[in-house]
Every structure is written in structure tokens, then in C-alpha cells.
Amino acid sequence: MSSESGFLSGRRSLPSPLYAVLDPSQAKGRPLTSVLQALLQGSTRLLQLRAKEMAAKELFSLAREVRQMTRAAGCRFIVNDRVDIALATQADGVHLGQEDLPLEVARKLMGREKIIGISTHDLAQAREAERGGADYIGFGPIFGTATKDTGYSSRG
């Protein structure tokens, strides 16, 4: 569903449907701040930091820098998987996978005002996320991908 100002969830309108994922492992040698600046100069109004291989201390430092840049650009900031890093950096929310904290636990920790999204891989998971109050649902993989091993078959 979309509206002029964004796409709708069950409770709130989120920004532009362009949802960028900033992943250091995909930067291909480019400085991450340059990649981030390019995204922010474009239409990105919701950005997820995804750094699965990064140690917590390094991720915290990077997330703090990304938070400062996204805030200055008027872009909402989501941290992948890590509720602790999202809270510590005052991120706008967190994106959870199926193996991360349960949605209801993340909601208790983050509060009602924070955005919580969840990855789903079949209709049952998507329905459960909707019933659980996820602000948005990622579904896939739709097509095969070389950027990560999902462990799931493509649905497209």
C-alpha cells in the first residue's frame, strides 16, 4: 500500500518506499561514508545498516556515525538484528530476522514509537509478523541473490 508521503503499516505511515540497505560487505572498496552520502542525496528516507560480520564495538561506532548523518538528512535509521545497538544509538528502529529476538520482546525493549520490521519467508511467518504488530514486513527471497545466503528458496 502506498500514500503520497510513504507506505502504510498497521499503525503508521512510513517514509518513501525506497528502503536502502547499507552493508559494508557490499561496498566493494568504496568508502562507506561516500556510499551513505550518495544514498542520502538520493531519495532514501529510510535506511537500514546491515553489518552481520562486524563486532559489536565496531558496529556501535559505525551506527553512531550513520545515525548522525541520517538525522542531519532527515532520514529514518534502522539497525539490522541488534536491538541493543539500535537503542544505544537512538536509531528509529530495528529490523529483525527469524532467528533474532522475538518481535514481542523487541517491542517491549524498544517501545511503541520505534519502528520494528521483520523478515519473513513464507505466508505463515508474514501473518504472524502482522498479528505481532510489525510496522513493516520484508518477504523473500523473491529471486535468487548473490548478496547473502538466505537458506530459503526463491518465491518469484
Catalytic residues: 50, 119, 148
Residue indicated by cell numbers 523473491: 142
> Helix 32-41 to helix 56-73 angle, to the nearest 10 degrees?
30
Cell digits of residue 38: 550518495
Q: How far apart are CA 144 and CA 42, in angstroms?
A: 26
What 126-131 contacts at long range (C-beta under 8 Å, 24+ apart), as own/partner pairs, is 129/103, 130/10
Between CA 29 and CA 44, with CA 146 as vertex, the angle to 5 degrees is 65
Cell digits of residue 83: 536491538
CB atoms within 10 A of CB 41: 9
147 and 27 Cβ atoms separated by less than 8 Å: no
